[in-house]
Amino acid sequence: MSWQTLLAIGSGGFIGSILRAYLNGLINRHLPHALPFGTLGVNILGSFIIGVFFAIFMHTTLFSTPMKSFLTTGFLGGLTTYSTFALETFWLFNEGSFVLALSNTLLNVIGTILAAGSGFKIINFLVK
């Protein structure tokens, strides 16, 4: 992997992580609940956007490898967070909130898959 691609990933991750912290706090401040909606929100948003990006990448050659890496592995990797989702779900189970823990798991897993697929399908529909 080139140094340009590594730098692009790191730069994208820096921006995505800052945006995640901001959005997570914003969502949790306006939607306080035992269910971690902040993490769910950034994961669904990031999954939708990655679906959009990959559909765009399939239909154009305008993006270099470092730019694709900046947008996906870097920015969206920093924006979304599997590890926080895992820990928050563990905390819910550990507190005995089994329904919330299972709800969080289903919403994150199914929601992110549907979001990524929706982003991909919408762009493919618009391009064709």
With pLDDT > 90 as the criterion, what percentage of the chain qualifies?
95
Four-CA torsion 34, 39, 45, 49, nearest 10 degrees:
-160
Q: Which domain holds residue 73?
A: 3-127
The pLDDT-based confidence of 88 (bands split at 50, 70, 90) is very high
How confident is the model over 53-63, as pLDDT tens digits?
999 999 999 99
Q: For the chain, how many residues are written?
A: 128
Residue 76's pLDDT is: 98
- When pLDDT is averaged across residues 59-76 and rounded to a whole number, the result is 97
Angle at 85 (CA atoms; ends 81, 91), nearest 5 degrees: 145
Among 72, 77, 84, CA closest to 36: 84
How confident is the model over 23-51, as pLDDT tens digits?
999 999 998 889 999 999 999 999 999 99
Contact 104/36 with Cβ under 8 angstroms?
Answer: yes
The count of domains in the chain is: 1
